[in-house]
Amino acid sequence: MNDFINALALFLQSAVTMGTPLLLATIGGILAEKVGHLNLGVEGMMLMGAVIGYVTGINTGNPFIAIIAAGLVAALGALIYAFITVSLKGNQIVTGLALTIFGTGFANFIGSSLVGVTLPASVKGALSDFEMPILKDIPILGKMIFSQSIYVYVSLLLALLVWFYIKKTSFGLNMRSVGENPAAADASGINVTLYKYINICLGGFMCGIGGAYLSLVSVPSWQDNITAGIGWIAVALVIFATWNPIRAIFGAYLFGAIQCLDYKLQNVKFNFFGNPFTINAQLLSILPYFMTIIVLIFINIRKKKENQPPAGLGSAYFREER
Amino acid sequence: MKKVFTLLLVLTLVFTTLVGCKKEDGTDKPGTTSDNKGIAKEDLLIGFLYVGPIGDQGYSYAHDLGRLDLEAAGYKTKYVENVPETADCEKSIRDLIDQGCNVIIATSFGHMDWTYNVSLEYPDVKFFHCSGYQTGDNMSAFFGRMYQIRFLSGIAAGLKTETNKIGYVAAMPLAEVVRGANAFALGVQSVNPDATVEVKWTNSWYDPAAEKAAAVELLNSGADVLAQHCDTTGPQIAAEEKGAFAVGYNANTFDVAPGAFLTAPLWNWGVYYLAQMQQIVDGTWEASNYWGSMDTGIVSLADLTNNCAPGTKEAIEAAYNAIAAGEYDVFDGPLTNNEGIEMVPEGSTMSDADLLAMVWFVDGIIGSVPKSN
C-alpha cells in the first residue's frame, strides 16, 4: 500500500510538472478571451517567451529577470495581435495563426545559437524543486504540489489572483462587460480599446512565462520547438475550464496527468475477463481534445449562464455600427 | 473585340513561355558522358540535405560535423537544413544542383525516393543516401552498424546499475530503433544477466517535454541508468536531477549532465565522406550499398567518463576486440524474444536482411513493439 501511495505521489508530481506550462498559458488565453479576443497565437507566444527567458537566464544569471523578460517579449507579440485585431479590426483567427507562425520562426532563429548552452547554476538552483516546510509531509499532496519549483507555486498564485481580478474586482467586472457586450460597455463609459489592449497583453505575458517554464525548469535546455503543441492544448483547455482560472488549475493538472499516463501505462498489461489488452498511446493523446468536445457539448446543453463563452468572443467592435 | 485581343495575347505569351522553358531544359542538362573519370577536388561541390536543424545536437548535427571534416580537407560544400521528407525534398535537390553541386548527400530515410527520382535525371551528379536501401548507377546507400556501439554502451550501463533496472527512451517503433534497443539489452546482459531494460516509446522523433517525461516515469519506477534513442538531452537531464546515470546519443553531451553522463554512441560520418570523395577524385568511385562496421570508425563510443563503474573500460575493450576480430556477433544465437519464443537458434546469426526488418524485442526487455497495422 505504501508503495502504491508513493508511486501515485510521484505520478501526480510529474502531472503537475507537465501541467504548469498548460496552466499559465490557459490563464493567458482566458484573459484574452474574456475581453472577446480568441488568440490562437498562444503557441507562438510561449515559444517567444521560452527562448527569450533562456537567453536572458544565460546572460544575466538571474532567474527573476529571465522570467520577466520572457513575459515581456510575449506581451510584445500580443501587442502586435492587439493592434491588428483591436485597432485595425483584423480577423482574429488569421492574426492569431500568424502570431504562432511568427513566434515559432522567431524562437528558432534566436535559439539556433543556444543549443547545447547550459543554464548557469544560479538560475537552475533558484528554480529547482523546493520543498515547503511542514506542508511537504502531507501525504500525496506534499509530493504533488509542495515539492516543486517555486515557479509552480507562483503559477498557482497567479491563477488565484487572476480569478480574483476577473470575478471580484470592478476592473474585472468592466473587462467582462467588454467581452460580453462592448457596445454597452462603451456606452457606460468604459474605455473598451484600453481594456482590450491591457488584457490581451497580460494574457501574452502569462503565455510567455508558461513557455519559459519549459526552457528554464521542466526541460531545462533549449530545443527547437520546445512547446511541441502545448499551446494548442491550452487553447482547448480555456474552453474545458469554462473561462474560469480556478477550474483551469484542475484542468491543467488533469491534462498533464493524461500526458504522463501514456508512459505510465505503456508496458502495463490489463486483463478484461481473460482478454489481455494494452492501452494505446495515440488514443490517450487525443483524450484532452476529446474531453474538450464533451465539455463543449455539456455547456451548450445545460446553458448555465456562468459557463458560457463571452458573448462578444471573436467579433471586432466597431463603435460606428451601434 | 478587346477581350478577344487580350485572350490572344495571353495565349501567345503562355505559348512562348512554355516553348522557352522547354528549350532551356534541353540545353541546361549537363553533357551525358559518364566515363567515370576523376573530378578535381576544386571542381567538386558537395550539397547536403538535413532533415532537422544543425543546431539540434543530434542527428543532423552529427552529419554536419562530417561536412565540416570535408571543408577542412579542402572540399567545397553547401547545405540545406529542415528538408522535409516530402516532394519538397526534390525541389531542394534541384536547387542545389542548379547552384552547381555535382555531389548530393541526403541524410534522412524519408529523402530516399525523392533522391532516387532526381538521380535518374542527372546521371553525372553523384548521389548518396543515408539509412536507406535504394541504390542506382549514380546513387549509393550508406549507414553504420550503430547496434555494435549500442551493445558496447549496454556494457557500461549493465556494470553501473545497482537496482538492475535500466530505462530506455525510444522514439519511433522502427527496425533501426528496435535493433538498437536489442543490441543495448544484449550488451547489458553480457555483463549483468539479472538486469532488465524497460523501453518506453515517445512516438515522436522530436518532443523535448515528452522525452523528459518518459525518462522521469522510468526513473520513478526504479531505473537507475537510462539510455536513449531520441534526439534531445531530456533523459540525461532527468537522470541528473534524480541522481541517476544516463547514456546519451549522437553527441558528446557531457556538459549537459556532468553528474550523470556515462558515454554516448556517436556517428562519425566524416570518415565515410572523406573516403568516398577521395574515390571520386581518383576516378574509382562506384555506387555501392555500404553498412560500415565500428572498426571503420563510422560509429564510435564517446570517451567513458568518471561516472562509469570501475572495470568498464576493460570490459568494453574486450568486447570490441572480440567483435572486431569476428569471434562473435551481437546477434549470435541462441536468441529468444521477450515472449519466450526462440527467434535465432544456437549456432546461427542474424542476416543483414533480418536485422533491417527486426520488429521483436529480445528476452530481458520489458516492453513491446507496437504492431504497425
Q: Which residues of A touch B56 (CB under 8 A)?
A: 115, 223-224
Top residue of B232, B250, B371 to mutate, by most chain A CBs within 10 Å, is B232
CB contact under 8 A, B256 and A219: no
pLDDT of B226 > 90? The answer is yes
CATH number of A2-321: 1.10.3470
Cell of B265: 554512441
Number of helices (H) and strands (E), helices first, in chain A? Answer: 13, 4
A218–B contact, CB cutoff 8 A: yes
Q: Read off the DSSP letter of residue A305.
A: G
CB contact under 8 A, A115 and B216: no
Q: Which residues of B touch A220 (CB under 8 A)?
A: 237
Q: How many angstroms separate the CA atoms of B226 and B122, rounded?
A: 46
Which residue has 475477463 as its cell numbers?
Answer: A273
CB contact under 8 A, A116 and B213: no
Q: Are A23 and A254 in contact (CB under 8 A)?
A: no
What does pLDDT average to over chain B?
87
- How do residues B40-79 score in pLDDT, each as one tens digit? 888 999 999 998 878 767 788 889 999 999 999 999 999 9
Band of the pLDDT at B11, cuts 50, 70, 90? low
Q: Which residues of A touch B218 (CB under 8 A)?
A: 263
Top residue of B205, B220, B242, B339 to mutate, by most chain A CBs within 10 Å, is B220
Q: How many angstroms separate the CA atoms of B303 and B305, rounded?
A: 6
Cell of A207: 503565455
Query: Among A118, A226, A264, whose Cβ lies nearest the Cβ of B208?
Result: A226
A196: distance to nearest CA of chain B, Å? Answer: 33
Q: Where are the beta strands (DSSP E) in chain A?
A: 130-131, 147-148, 270-272, 275-277
Q: Are B109 and B133 in contact (CB under 8 A)?
A: no
What does pLDDT average to over chain A?
90
Query: Among A112, A224, A228, whose Cβ lies nearest the Cβ of B210?
Result: A228
| All structural domains of chain A with their residue ranges | 2-321
The complex's ipTM works out to 0.78
Lowest mean pLDDT among A141-155, A277-291, B108-122, B249-263: A277-291
pLDDT of B312 > 80? The answer is yes
Identity of residue B180: G
Band of the pLDDT at A301, cuts 50, 70, 90? confident
Identity of residue A30: I
Note the Cα B332 to chain centre separation in Å. 23
3-state SS string for chain B: CHHHHHHHHHHHHHHHHHHHHHHHHHHHCCCCCCCCCCCCHHHCEEEEECCCCHHHCCHHHHHHHHHHHHHHCCCEEEEECCCCCCCHHHHHHHHHHHCCCCEEEECCHHHHHHHHHHHHHCCCCEEEEECCCCCECCEEEEEECHHHHHHHHHHHHHHHCCCCEEEEEECCCCHHHHHHHHHHHHHHHHHCCCCEEEEEECCCCCCHHHHHHHHHHHHHCCCCEEEEECCCCHHHHHHHHCCCEECCCECCCHHHCCCCECCCEEECHHHHHHHHHHHHHHCCCCCCEEEECHHHCCEEECCCCCCCCCCHHHHHHHHHHHHHCCCCCCCECCEEECCCCEEECCCCECCHHHHHCCCCCECCEECCCCCCC
Lowest mean pLDDT among A83-92, B121-130, B322-331: B322-331
Cell of A139: 501525504
CATH number of B41-144+269-295: 3.40.50.2300
- CA-based nearest residue to B236, from B153, B313, B294: B153
Assign a CATH topology to domain B146-264+302-366. Answer: Rossmann fold (3.40.50)
Within a 13 Å sphere around the CA of A182, how many CA atoms are in the beta-carbon half? 24
A319: distance to nearest CA of chain B, Å? Answer: 44
Burial (CB < 10 A; 0-12, 13-18, 19+), residue B13, is exposed
Identity of residue A102: F
Between chain A and chain B, the number of residue pairs with CB atoms below 8 A apart is 95
Q: Read off the DSSP letter of residue A86.
A: I
- How do residues B24-36 score in pLDDT, each as one tens digit? 444 444 444 445 5
Lowest mean pLDDT among B5-9, B192-196, B300-304, B311-315: B5-9
Burial (CB < 10 A; 0-12, 13-18, 19+), residue B251, is buried
Cell of B351: 542476416
Q: Which residue is closest to A263 within chain B, CA to CA? A: B214
The residue ranking higher by pLDDT, A163 or B352, is: A163
CB contact under 8 A, A113 and B56: no
pLDDT of A275 > 80? The answer is no
CB contact under 8 A, B233 and A221: yes
| All structural domains of chain B with their residue ranges | 41-144+269-295, 146-264+302-366
> What pLDDT is recorded for position B19?
52
- How do residues B245-264 score in pLDDT, each as one tens digit? 999 998 888 888 899 999 99
In A, residues 40-79, which contact B (CB 8 Å cutoff)? none
CB contact under 8 A, A228 and B204: yes
Q: Give the strand pairing for B265-267 and B225-229.
A: unpaired
Residue % of chain B over a pLDDT of 70: 89
CB contact under 8 A, B209 and A278: no
CB contact under 8 A, B213 and A264: no
Assess whether the region B41-144+269-295 and the region B146-264+302-366 belong to the same CATH fold.
Answer: yes
Identity of residue A193: T
